[in-house]
Amino acid sequence: MKIVSAAVIVKDGKVFIAQRPADKKPPLQWEFPGGKQEPGETIEQCLIREIKEELGADVRVGKFIMSSRFDYEWGSFELQAYFAELLPGSGIRPSEHKNYAWAAPEELDGYDFAAADLPIVRRLKELMI
């Protein structure tokens, strides 16, 4: 099972979400950005690295939200979600996603999220609404 990090970046009561590109599985679905943990790396280090690579942003990893396990036909994943805070002076410049949005928790149901991210969506609605 692959361990994957996910950042829930909150700003002004909205969360940052990103749409996967058409050539990556699951294509065109929305997610909380992050990525696969590499050997010798903590999940927090993974999250910091992935957000820098994907969004060009520096973050501070905050409170653990939850973990979500899902079996896709191409592999099994455990998604570990953490709140993350943009560091002062750090902006978001997505480089790998097709689209992105800042969405209020009650708006998240309007996006087609990847299956592994859906439990996180439900949890965020409980925590933030």
Instruction: Between 1 and 55, name the one with better pLDDT.
Output: 55
How far is residue 77's CA from residue 79's CA, in Å, rounded to a whole number? 6
Mean pLDDT of the 10-30 span: 93
Could you report the per-residue pLDDT of 76-109, keeping only the tens digit for each? 889 999 999 999 999 899 888 999 999 999 999 9
pLDDT value at residue 105: 94
H/E element, 54:
helix 43-55
Mean pLDDT of 41-68: 96
Mean model confidence pLDDT for the chain = 93
- Reply yes or no on whether the pLDDT at 129 is more than 80: no
pLDDT, mean of residues 97-126: 94
pLDDT greater than 90 at residue 71: no
Q: Mean pLDDT throughout 61-75?
A: 90
Separation CA 116–CA 48 (nearest Å): 20
> Which of 3.40.50.1370, 3.90.79.10, 3.40.50.2000, 3.40.50.300 is the CATH number of 2-88+96-128?
3.90.79.10
Q: Provide the pLDDT for residue 70.
A: 85
Tokens of 109: 């149901």
Say how far apart CA 111 and CA 60 lie, in whole Å: 26
Which whole number is the average pLDDT over 101-128?
94
Average pLDDT of the residues in 56-60: 96
Residue pair 113/105 in contact by the 8 Å Cβ criterion: no
* pTM for the model: 0.92
The answer to whether 4 and 34 have CB atoms below 8 angstroms apart is yes
